[in-house]
Amino acid sequence: MANGVSGVSGVKVTVVDGETATGDKEYFFDSSVRYIVVGRDPVACQIVLPESSLADGIGAEHIGFRRSLGRYQVDLNTDLYVEVDGRRPIEDMELNGAHDIRLGKRLRLRLEVIDTRPAPKKIGRQNLQSADLSRRNQRLLTAALVVVAAVAGMVLFTQSRLQDVKTSVDESRRGLEGVSQNVDSLSKTLSFLNEQVDTIPADVLDQVSRSVYLVVKADRLGGEQAQGTAWVTERGMLATNAHVADAFNRLKTGESLWVRSSVPPHASHRVTSVDLHPGFKQFIKLWNEYLPVQRQSGRLDLMRTATPADVAVMKVERPERLAAPLPLATMDELETLRPGIRVAFAGYPSEMLLPGALRQPSPVVQQDEIIRLTNFFMINQPSGNRLIHHGLPITGGASGSPIIASSGKVIGLISSGNFIFAGGRRTVNAADINFGQRLDFLHAMLEDPKGKRAVQYEEEWRAQLAQFESAPEVSATAIRTALASMTGHPAPDDSDVLTGVINLGEDPFGVATRNFSVLLPRSGLYLIRLQAPLLGVSMRANPAEGEPMTPVAMPLPFTTGLPYVMVFATGTSTLSVDVTVQSAAYGDKKSVPSALAVERWPADAASVFVKLLEQSRDFEWNSTRRPVYLSKRTDVDKFNFVNQHYVLPTTVEISRPGMYTFVAIPKAKGALDGVLIENGRPTARDRDRRPLVWLDKMVRRSGKQEIGFVTTSTAPVAQDVYVIYWEKIETNPGEAN
């Protein structure tokens, strides 16, 4: 049927324009297939494209689709061109329903997500009621009174006697020596808290809106595109996010950046320079070098966060004609911020909204409250919580908007939000928890306008990163531990490090590649891995035809943080390995060093490969299946000689639907081809002409049937032949899932 197999959930992929390496036009992967890769690499990909598609911009592993909670998420190779429903997609974009996908210049796919399970009734978000607001404010004022009483030695007063609290503080100051400074600070805190109300006055928001500007980029043809929001701050400058202001540094010939007022006649000011907080790119560098992760179900779950120091100031032409600057909360006032405080923003959100008039912009004004405050690793600290979690409803275009307290003072900047990805687009998560930068970073910039500021927070960030495991370190250890277990050897018996330089030239696709020629001097299992992390890196093994080796790209538990490949060699051979990085990740650098670690582990290919297959499948399927050997034949050497080839047939009778794997491993130097035969015709092939052959087959119908597994070689090479059924492990009713 058009939607795949009746009653089976999964994903159907149809080739609309272009060709695959096998000539197939339709593919269906049921829900047991957790990861689908499309590209030219026949080892790593489930949908294999011809090598000739390289000229059309098709990569070895061009795009991946990862199954999660009944839907599929996109894994992008950011070096390569991809469109989803006519738009450039975003990493982890969620796919549900039908989508049109374009890869490279010519290939077009139709992807349909099929979920035959009944869907639950949707339940909307509950709004906070007025009674809840009242109770919240009552708790807030009570907490302030407790603080005053603790320091000044006063008795706790009720909210209705707030003015008496201030009077008592003054009296206590006269009677308590040595605490005057503390009381003064607490009085300011109480004053700031006292200003917090359930609704920020309209006149305050109107005044803020007049000082908020739309940031637009103009191209050489006169077109314009909204970039974000900026607002007037001290000394005729505008404040915004670093990721918004950085558009100025990426302008091409004929392009320019402008800010535009919402007040008629909507004056525009050309941006002449921008100054990004140095911590913004410093944190990104630290983050990408360390890659903090948490372990989860056999995988390394990369931490995600809002980038700190995402703050910048912009200078413009005719600054004297800008609107009035917005008042800034002091550092003491910032320390008083608490969950429940009413806040608002004014800005220009536009993504997935009806388009506004760029020439006559009108800002959006919204109110909600602070939800929590943490550091940028989502941890609540006793102090220094500079990430504001708030309920302000934002989307793309709001970046850089001021976050306002009820006093009209700016306490932070909108910087990012929680998004979900569906239908080829991102939308704001219904939880309505979004993020802002506390004003600390802007204060630091304004205090040193010459831009010679030291990065104050680097030591703090390094200490916070150290609370998590580093993906490259965890992956390197996990790979070596797995190989030690599979081979029975605690360490490799030989190792080498190959070094080189990747030149970051003017590649039209923004990528740069360094090729390494890796000598494999004798038979064994080789591990080739990146020695140190690089930004936006990928690695690919390119074995030449006829070389006595087989690269194996199978994920092992907790190894997803470092590019690597395993190679089974049955003799001396040479392997070409490409290391590719995104040039843009390195800014103005002309080159970057790289290194490959090459380790040889003494191993019998047959036993190690089957162990590797079991570990990889166990990991991929979350321990829900175990291998059952339907056929295990060793040292088979009885061949049929047909058309100058040695043919070794194996026939297996099956009766259950599910996944089957067919493996042939030569016991001496030689190369194999493999094919599966059903009803007298071939249904799958492995024609890489390398030692190892393995083929997966998904059987969807019940009943007895025969499948032939045939290997061919140009020499009579003895082989181990395995046929494996991946049996589902049933969970007892009393066991937790």
Rounded Cα gap, residues 566 and 670, in angstroms: 19
Query: pLDDT tens digit string along 548-560?
Result: 788 887 778 788 7
Question: Which helix (H) or strand (E) is 684 found in, with range?
Answer: strand 681-690
Rounded Cα gap, residues 461 and 387, in angstroms: 13
Rounded Cα gap, residues 283 and 81, in angstroms: 28
As a whole number, mean pLDDT of residues 117-146 equals 50
How many angstroms from the chain centroid is the CA of residue 15? 27
The full length of the chain comes to 737
**Is residue 325 within 8 Å of 232, Cβ to Cβ?**
yes
Estimate the crossing angle of helix 278-290 against helix 458-465, to 10 degrees.
20
Rounded Cα gap, residues 171 and 159, in angstroms: 19
Is residue 349 scored above 70 in pLDDT? Answer: yes
Rounded Cα gap, residues 625 and 339, in angstroms: 46
Note the pLDDT of residue 615. Answer: 73
Note the pLDDT of residue 459. Answer: 86
- CB neighbours (10 Å) of residue 405? 26
Query: pLDDT tens digit string along 78-112?
Result: 778 899 988 888 877 888 889 999 998 889 999 99
Question: Which helix (H) or strand (E) is 160 found in, with range?
Answer: none
Query: pLDDT tens digit string along 474-488?
Result: 988 988 898 998 888
**Phi and psi (nearest 5°) for 586?**
-110, 10
Rounded Cα gap, residues 386 and 233, in angstroms: 20
- Contact partners, residue 244, CB within 8 Å, separation at least 6: 215, 227, 228, 229, 230, 312, 399, 400
Residue 147 pLDDT class (50, 70, 90 cuts)? very low
Question: Residue-wise over 614-630: b if at least 16 C-beta within 10 A, else e?
Answer: bbbbbbbbeeebebeee
Rounded Cα gap, residues 450 and 395, in angstroms: 33
Note the pLDDT of residue 732. Answer: 46
Give residue 152's identity as a one-letter amino acid code: A
**Phi and psi (nearest 5°) for 166?**
-65, -40
**Is residue 577 within 8 Å of 455, Cβ to Cβ?**
no
Query: pLDDT tens digit string along 17-54?
Result: 999 998 899 999 988 888 899 999 887 889 999 988 88
231: helix, strand or coil:
strand
Residue 165 pLDDT class (50, 70, 90 cuts)? very low
Note the pLDDT of residue 160. Answer: 42
Rounded Cα gap, residues 399 and 386, in angstroms: 17
Tell me how far CA of residue 556 lies from CA of 471, 486, 564, in angstroms.
14, 12, 11
- CB neighbours (10 Å) of residue 3? 14
Note the pLDDT of residue 443. Answer: 93
**Of the spans 61-70, 234-243, 349-358, which averages the highest pLDDT?**
234-243
Rounded Cα gap, residues 632 and 111, in angstroms: 37
- β-strand 645-654 against 705-713: which pairing, if any? antiparallel
Average pLDDT, the chain: 81
Residue 137 pLDDT class (50, 70, 90 cuts)? very low
Query: pLDDT tens digit string along 277-287?
Result: 989 988 988 88
Note the pLDDT of residue 390. Answer: 92
3-state secondary structure 568-586: EECCCEEEEEEEEEEHHHH
For the entire predicted model, the pTM comes to 0.61
**Is residue 334 within 8 Å of 239, Cβ to Cβ?**
no
As a whole number, mean pLDDT of residues 608-629 equals 69
314: helix, strand or coil:
strand
Q: Which two tokens stand for residue 570?
A: 């049955």
* Residue of 648, 646, 669, 675 lying closest to 520 (CA atoms): 669
> Regarding predicted confidence, which is higher, 99 or 644?
99
Note the pLDDT of residue 153. Answer: 44
Note the pLDDT of residue 173. Answer: 52
Note the pLDDT of residue 419. Answer: 64
254 CB burial (10 A radius; 0-12, 13-18, 19+): exposed
Residue 642 pLDDT class (50, 70, 90 cuts)? confident
Is residue 626 scored above 90 in pLDDT? Answer: no
Q: What is the share, in percent, of the chain residues with pLDDT greater than 70?
A: 81
- Contact partners, residue 442, CB within 8 Å, separation at least 6: 233, 239, 311, 313, 328, 413
Tell me how far CA of residue 505 lies from CA of 81, 502, 582, in angstroms.
19, 9, 11
* Residue of 292, 299, 625, 234 lying closest to 449 (CA atoms): 234
End-to-end Cα distance, the chain:
33
Rounded Cα gap, residues 59 and 93, in angstroms: 20
